[in-house]
Structure 1
């Protein structure tokens, strides 16, 4: 039976490793440099509440997410926002202006409930919009020269320019669906007026509604919806039902085609609580955002006491609890009464009842329709086609709004680009010097085995470059000075694996074993030691990663990554490369591999010299 030469795994490993590196280079992906290598601004923020109460883990995470969104809007490349203890550390590579950074990340976020003044529309013009408009206008029998906006304004008794949506654009098959199943009956076993539909805007899958929570009787402190007359959907001279799905789609499409692209979304510094604004929703599952025309704030997050996400009748809902008193549920009920009646300050949006948008840090999270004039403080149910994650995000936002945090900068550090370049240059020079010393030592001591080790380092470098390039491009992984140190240290780890193997080989040959047979047997013995050593290194790196923060985590991550690569290549590169070399004609002389031959053993024939 012929022995395997090891050529196939060796060739595959080499081709795949170097090919992956070349592919990453062609794609233009390269390791993303961290703050200490390219310069930038680092800020440590300490969150605190107005009453100095304990800050929860959820509030910290919500604050971190808000800062992340702020930074993403600015367009800083590969920022790092992390929670370290009770502080939030913001590192912005490439940033230069400390004051600008503090303005961006340090302002307090406030949860606001704003009335929706006009139907939301998506921010992208759908393909084939003109044809769809013509088809819908014919289907609804709308006369030439009359727009959906004019019909909408006439139906609700608004002026010609009221609720105008200049600059609001629609995309795809997004629909504005108003639930017309609300009867106002007291809910018993299910939330009243469950809505169905999709593509309603605001990042929601279905129209959201605020309803009384499921109970067996009407809440004692809430008005009984059964005794309240629900306004009927108004009519117009064209006989068009503005609550229909077709009209909602036509409205958005016409708004898209007739949009004024110069109308901007309200800037963060202009987002005043007592002023009307135009804001974007959170992206939906397809990444589409919607523009909302919103009125002045009616309620803030300070009125909320708590919020939870719950599964009810197979549907995820959000259950906010408001504070008692004039600044709590009473204030919310004033807003609910205005929206339920379709008042001018909270008009019905494609229907009789108005909607209140939930806005956090200038982003619309949802826009539930109000379907009752008042509620008990713990009898409010926000329902829609939520999945668990969406419901939790909304509940966390409402909960965060009940405890707004002020961010106090503790330390602000600016690292110049020149200093970063110097650190990078020094790190590269140190690495190259160390690598050169290693190459000279390995070749001088192990000769051809040393060359195999150098080849393994080249393959390791190719794999590492490809992995770091992909992670930097796809996940925003940054290479820091500490990471470079981890990689340099990992070179020693790779050498350890080779040396353990080669020393086992030399010992076996010295004990009288045939050189070619000893190559395979020695690796089997050395493999257990290599695995134990690398696993020990991995355990240390993992513990260090999870128990540390900042630069130390970067060191631990790259050390662990390099150790994993070494463990893999020891088996699929060093082993087959050594087998292939020794079983060739080069193996006739073990001394070429730095392996001394005992004078009493014929290494080629395996016989004892006479």
Structure 2
């Protein structure tokens, strides 16, 4: 038996590649236990929050600032356009609708100013003032048998009695002192005046330290270098309690002034210099993990001016003593992290760490990447959105999709007969890949399936069917010419059909891109689904329909032009290609 040729192996290998892709997607879904996609606001309900701007003068904000706030919030909650979150302006308010339940924390995060500043640390101390330590008594000497008294509570301790006569004499004198004499360590007696003189000398040699008043605390700036610090901040630094809940998180800070700030975890307080680098100089931000420690970090890149400022401040403070060689990353007036700078950092990038989780790191990266809000907001209304109507829409969408798919299958089988089975199989593979892709995007990229997405997926049935119909018609045209066998017709037809398929899919994909970037809300969701299924159509046609057609062309059922194959002589309008096929074999 002759070994298989390369043309015989290639279709099988291509199908194995597609099978490997499908199995990998299925394994990922099984490992993540994510068998059902997450649904959007119209299908699963969610939370709608109304944000009201808070201005210093109490006047309504300008339309320009509101429009910018809408743009920033929309980018934060739906930056990739697939989360089905909606942001709209309603008079002077902003209405944010997020799918799912329990989204108040997320709304609170997107409503912050998110203005990052990098400031030099001038002073640092514990989060709250520490009480003054009470003085302790000196230790009792050992070996001489002489007792020592500690003036605590006004009581005189009873001395221990030594076994020697001198010890007994000294003990008696301390327990019941006589005005005439005091026993010494040699067993003799001292005069009363001399004893008083000795006691006075001892008192002058070891004075008793003053007892601090109740509630006294240590000065957090004791021994610290306060040069260059605004005097008004020193008292504020002494008084601030960073363990309190109202320690000022989320407040905007003036970049042109020194400030007092607390750490994000409430364990330290800082005096910080004027901002060396401002958040407006950030060109991008992304979340990731440190390759050495595995902790989540936020990588920040600067514009040209910010890169120069960052290099200058790190170069200037690297030779200073602690804590002035620390550079604090301040977000909304709160110190996220204040690392020690050991060398100048050129290159225009910085790293922010601070016990982040994947969620908090991504949230911070989004806030920094999409910019700071021009206004401060407060939540004025929180409403839960029901999904009853959405469930009816979902059911109707699935039914319409099933009906459309069934009609396409019936048409393929009636018109193409046996050849239509390849079309049905292609639709099945496209369905499996589409569903797997939607599930994976839902659980890994924030994608939420909404009614516009479902409409886009249903429309894609026609796009997928159109691709292999073009291919089938090319095959039949080649056979009708009467000069080609089925095997050669399959290859020649593919070279001609793939250009038509790629052009048609390219036009559809360009239309999807235009809609995706120019529209918002449901239209953008529809465009995303249409673009996604267009790409899947190319994958299915190239990796499944064409290789499968190359394999079935070797089957006598199709090669001989059976009446049920869809390639019979009557339908082709010519004599059967069976003889030419047998000659080729």
TM-score range normalised by the length of the shorter chain: 0.5 to 0.7
The DSSP-based 3-state class of the residue aligned with 2:493 is helix
Shift of 1:3: 7.4
Residue matched to 2:298: none
**Superposition pairs of residues 39-58 of structure 1, within 5 angstroms:** 39-43=45-49, 52=62, 54-55=64-65
**Higher alpha-carbon deviation: 526-535 or 105-114:** 105-114
1:457-508: CA deviation from partner (whole Å, max 9, x where unpaired)? 2222222233333333332222222111111111110000111111222233
Structure 2 residues without counterparts, runs of 5 or longer: 128-214, 230-240, 254-258, 283-301, 314-319, 353-363
Match of 1:20 among 17, 24, 29: 24
The DSSP-based 3-state class of the residue aligned with 1:32 is coil
Shift of 1:352: 7.0
Shift of 1:315: 5.6
Match of 2:310 among 317, 333, 336: 317
Query: Cα 1:64–1:159, aligned 2, differ >3 Å: closer, same or farther?
Result: farther
Query: Does the alignment pair 1:33 with 2:39?
Result: yes
**Higher alpha-carbon deviation: 562-571 or 20-29:** 20-29
Residue matched to 1:497: 467
The DSSP-based 3-state class of the residue aligned with 1:476 is coil
Shift of 1:78: 6.3
What is the CA–CA distance in structure 2 between the aligned matches of 1:264 and 1:79, rounded to whole Å? 38
Residue matched to 1:603: 577
Shift of 1:96: 6.2
Rg (Cα) greater in structure: 2
Residue matched to 1:72: none
Shift of 1:44: 7.0
Match of 1:4 among 7, 25, 45: 7
Match of 2:500 among 516, 529, 545: 529
**Higher alpha-carbon deviation: 19-28 or 85-94:** 85-94
Q: 8 Å contact 1:506–1:596 — kept in the other structure?
A: no
Residue matched to 1:95: 101
Residue matched to 1:293: 268
Q: 8 Å contact 2:409–2:424 — kept in the other structure?
A: yes
The DSSP-based 3-state class of the residue aligned with 2:7 is coil
Q: 8 Å contact 1:48–1:55 — kept in the other structure?
A: no
Query: Does the alignment pair 1:488 with 2:463?
Result: no
Residue matched to 2:125: 118
Q: 8 Å contact 2:124–2:323 — kept in the other structure?
A: no
What is the CA–CA distance in structure 2 between the aligned matches of 1:513 and 1:409, rounded to whole Å? 75
Shift of 1:535: 0.7
1:416-462: CA deviation from partner (whole Å, max 9, x where unpaired)? 13333333333222222221222222112212221111211222222
Match of 1:437 among 407, 412, 428: 407
Shift of 1:389: 4.5
The DSSP-based 3-state class of the residue aligned with 2:101 is coil
Shift of 1:537: 0.5
The DSSP-based 3-state class of the residue aligned with 2:578 is coil
Q: 8 Å contact 1:39–1:417 — kept in the other structure?
A: yes
1:581-603: CA deviation from partner (whole Å, max 9, x where unpaired)? 12112222343332341565231
**Superposition pairs of residues 103-502 of structure 1, within 5 angstroms:** 106=111, 117-118=124-125, 271=249, 279-280=263-264, 292-294=267-269, 317=310, 351=322, 359-361=330-332, 363-365=334-336, 367=338, 385=345, 388-390=348-350, 404-407=374-377, 414-502=384-472
State TM-score, norm by structure 1: 0.54
Query: Cα 1:464–1:101, aligned 2, differ >3 Å: closer, same or farther?
Result: closer
Query: Cα 1:4–1:597, aligned 2, differ >3 Å: closer, same or farther?
Result: same
1:516-541: CA deviation from partner (whole Å, max 9, x where unpaired)? 13222222222111111111111111
Residue matched to 1:509: 479
What is the CA–CA distance in structure 2 between the aligned matches of 1:435 and 1:305, rounded to whole Å? 52
**Cα RMSD after superposing both structures:** 5.5
Q: 8 Å contact 2:50–2:379 — kept in the other structure?
A: yes
Q: 8 Å contact 2:260–2:272 — kept in the other structure?
A: no
The DSSP-based 3-state class of the residue aligned with 1:469 is helix
The DSSP-based 3-state class of the residue aligned with 2:62 is coil
Q: 8 Å contact 1:427–1:481 — kept in the other structure?
A: yes
Residue matched to 1:251: none
What is the CA–CA distance in structure 2 between the aligned matches of 1:602 and 1:352, rounded to whole Å? 91
Q: 8 Å contact 1:84–1:549 — kept in the other structure?
A: no
Query: Cα 1:495–1:463, aligned 2, differ >3 Å: closer, same or farther?
Result: same
The DSSP-based 3-state class of the residue aligned with 1:41 is strand
Query: Cα 1:25–1:314, aligned 2, differ >3 Å: closer, same or farther?
Result: closer
What is the CA–CA distance in structure 1 between the aligned matches of 2:450 and 2:508, rounded to whole Å? 20
Query: Cα 1:26–1:102, aligned 2, differ >3 Å: closer, same or farther?
Result: closer
The DSSP-based 3-state class of the residue aligned with 2:567 is coil
What is the CA–CA distance in structure 1 between the aligned matches of 2:280 and 2:16, rounded to whole Å? 58
Residue matched to 1:339: none
Q: 8 Å contact 2:467–2:541 — kept in the other structure?
A: yes
What is the CA–CA distance in structure 2 between the aligned matches of 1:499 and 1:485, rounded to whole Å? 22
State TM-score, norm by structure 2: 0.56
Residue matched to 2:296: none
Q: 8 Å contact 2:311–2:345 — kept in the other structure?
A: no
Residue matched to 1:328: none
1:297-344: CA deviation from partner (whole Å, max 9, x where unpaired)? 99999xx99878676898652899xxxxxxxxxxxxxxxxxxxxxxxx
**Superposition pairs of residues 544-563 of structure 1, within 5 angstroms:** 544-563=515-534
Q: 8 Å contact 2:54–2:376 — kept in the other structure?
A: yes
Structure 1 residues without counterparts, runs of 5 or longer: 70-76, 121-157, 165-179, 185-222, 225-262, 281-289, 321-348, 371-382
Shift of 1:278: 5.5
Query: Cα 1:569–1:353, aligned 2, differ >3 Å: closer, same or farther?
Result: closer
The DSSP-based 3-state class of the residue aligned with 1:461 is helix
Query: Does the alignment pair 1:575 with 2:546?
Result: yes
Residue matched to 2:564: 592
